[in-house]
Chain A
């Protein structure tokens, strides 16, 4: 009987999954753009930029996602009537910015400093050296560590239900409350959906990692 109920509810669970994926894409995009800027500021910026970048990163890495989501919805809501979905994107996006900035900082700093000196020596400006020498080498290292961030943020989207975003977890709860039970089986189906998306996403990222690697260098494994 419950199998039948779950089969009937699959379209709604998929709706919820779609909301979760939209949330994920938006928050990762925010984190990617601002994380990269933050990393550049932290590595090359004036000390004031470095300090404020570091402060931002420490604060947003140090607060639980759930608290951030509630603060964005109710806190920002005091001044501007922000809707649940953008509030969740903002909260999780800022947090992802902080985490992704550390990924970018790591890969940028992994490029030996001597290369900048060499680029300057052949007449490139500092910006050109970063743009044409450092970033092309650094960014191709990103997919590996970034797959971690992808997985962790996909799971974090499940928290957005607390402010009324009807994503996958909430859709699962609807089945539980309308049937007054079946907690284990419903959440097992929900878990499977998260798992599949996670697995597919990671496969894409591994592919990207392989496509971006320089032959003969940085091999992930020796196959």
Chain B
């Protein structure tokens, strides 16, 4: 007679294979060095975007597996179909809207100007007149600084790009840059982790954030994602997840502002308009 645990294991194995065969597994690309949105702690994917994606997947009966890739690789990997969706604190921008389709936006962010706490600098000191500013290369903050400060006559700032914000902050603390400009969530994360940095100013951006899928949505994921986002928002699960990682954050009404340049925000929006 077979031991009971063995039977149980075999049955569980059969059940899980049949479930796996019944539906495709979608690969969600994440950049796991972006707390509080997506990161890895003790071998586990964590963060607002990760937990929310898990909740959406459960709500919509999707099978999603996470794959970590460095930030500069994520958008090309999605554009090429190497991953099926992008799950992180992803800002909606016109450039990205050309190569990706966005879900309805679930968050809005501003940018914060961070300086070393002991530097005594104010926002004018660090955004003008020979100052050096750090930001993540390719991030919306980097582009904003480039367009509005670097390329403008008479401002005279130097912009440095970093692979991620941890390194950018570290470089500022050693005195190589005067300030770092990052999103509100990231700035608060640094402060709550006890890094000696201070916010000296906020750049009001009302920057929407969303999930993204391949352009044209070949896997028809948008409808499920949008429905899932609305469901977890309505059930209060979204608020719980956000506050687990970011207790002070105020919850925005979903969807937040939907910029007109995004194709997937033209009516009818799958999973939302109907």
Residues of A within 8 A of B (CB): 8-9, 11-12, 15, 73-74, 77-78, 81, 84, 161-164, 166, 170, 173-174, 176-181, 183
The CA-CA distance from A177 to B73 in the complex, in Å, is: 18
**Minimum CB–CB distance for A59 against chain B, Å:** 24
Task: Contact check, A174 vs B67: say whether CB atoms are below 8 A apart.
Answer: no
Task: Contact check, A183 vs B170: say whether CB atoms are below 8 A apart.
Answer: yes
7 pairs of residues in contact across A and B, judged by CB atoms under 8 Å? A163-B69, A164-B69, A164-B73, A166-B68, A177-B32, A177-B164, A178-B41
Residue of A nearest to B196 (CB): A181
Asked if B42 is at the interface (CB within 8 A of a chain A CB), the reply is yes
Asked if B40 is at the interface (CB within 8 A of a chain A CB), the reply is yes
**Minimum CB–CB distance for A186 against chain B, Å:** 10
Task: Contact check, A177 vs B67: say whether CB atoms are below 8 A apart.
Answer: no
Residues of A within 8 A of B240 (CB): none
**Minimum CB–CB distance for B191 against chain A, Å:** 9
Task: Contact check, B42 vs A8: say whether CB atoms are below 8 A apart.
Answer: yes
Asked if B70 is at the interface (CB within 8 A of a chain A CB), the reply is yes
Task: Contact check, A174 vs B82: say whether CB atoms are below 8 A apart.
Answer: no
Task: Contact check, B42 vs A12: say whether CB atoms are below 8 A apart.
Answer: yes
Interface residues of B: mostly helix, strand, loop or mixed? Answer: mixed
Asked if B43 is at the interface (CB within 8 A of a chain A CB), the reply is yes
Residues of B within 8 A of A (CB): 29, 32-35, 39-43, 46, 67-70, 73, 76-77, 80-82, 164, 166-167, 169-170, 189-190, 193, 195
- Give the top 7 A-B pairs by smallest Cβ distance, nearest first: A177-B33, A174-B40, A180-B193, A164-B69, A178-B41, A12-B43, A178-B39
Task: Contact check, B43 vs A164: say whether CB atoms are below 8 A apart.
Answer: no
**Minimum CB–CB distance for A38 against chain B, Å:** 31
The CA-CA distance from A176 to B39 in the complex, in Å, is: 10
Residue of A nearest to B40 (CB): A174
Task: Contact check, A11 vs B43: say whether CB atoms are below 8 A apart.
Answer: yes
Cβ contact of B33, chosen from A9, A162, A174, cutoff 8 A: A174
Residues of B within 8 A of A11 (CB): 43
Known: A78-B80, A178-B41. A164 touches B68 (CB 8 A): yes
Residues of B within 8 A of A81 (CB): 81-82
Task: Contact check, A178 vs B73: say whether CB atoms are below 8 A apart.
Answer: no
Task: Contact check, A181 vs B169: say whether CB atoms are below 8 A apart.
Answer: yes
Task: Contact check, B190 vs A180: say whether CB atoms are below 8 A apart.
Answer: yes
Task: Contact check, A174 vs B167: say whether CB atoms are below 8 A apart.
Answer: no
Task: Contact check, A178 vs B80: say whether CB atoms are below 8 A apart.
Answer: no
**Minimum CB–CB distance for B223 against chain A, Å:** 25
**Minimum CB–CB distance for B128 against chain A, Å:** 28
The CA-CA distance from A179 to B192 in the complex, in Å, is: 10
Task: Contact check, A177 vs B43: say whether CB atoms are below 8 A apart.
Answer: no
Task: Contact check, A180 vs B40: say whether CB atoms are below 8 A apart.
Answer: no
Task: Contact check, B70 vs A162: say whether CB atoms are below 8 A apart.
Answer: yes
The CA-CA distance from A22 to B193 in the complex, in Å, is: 35
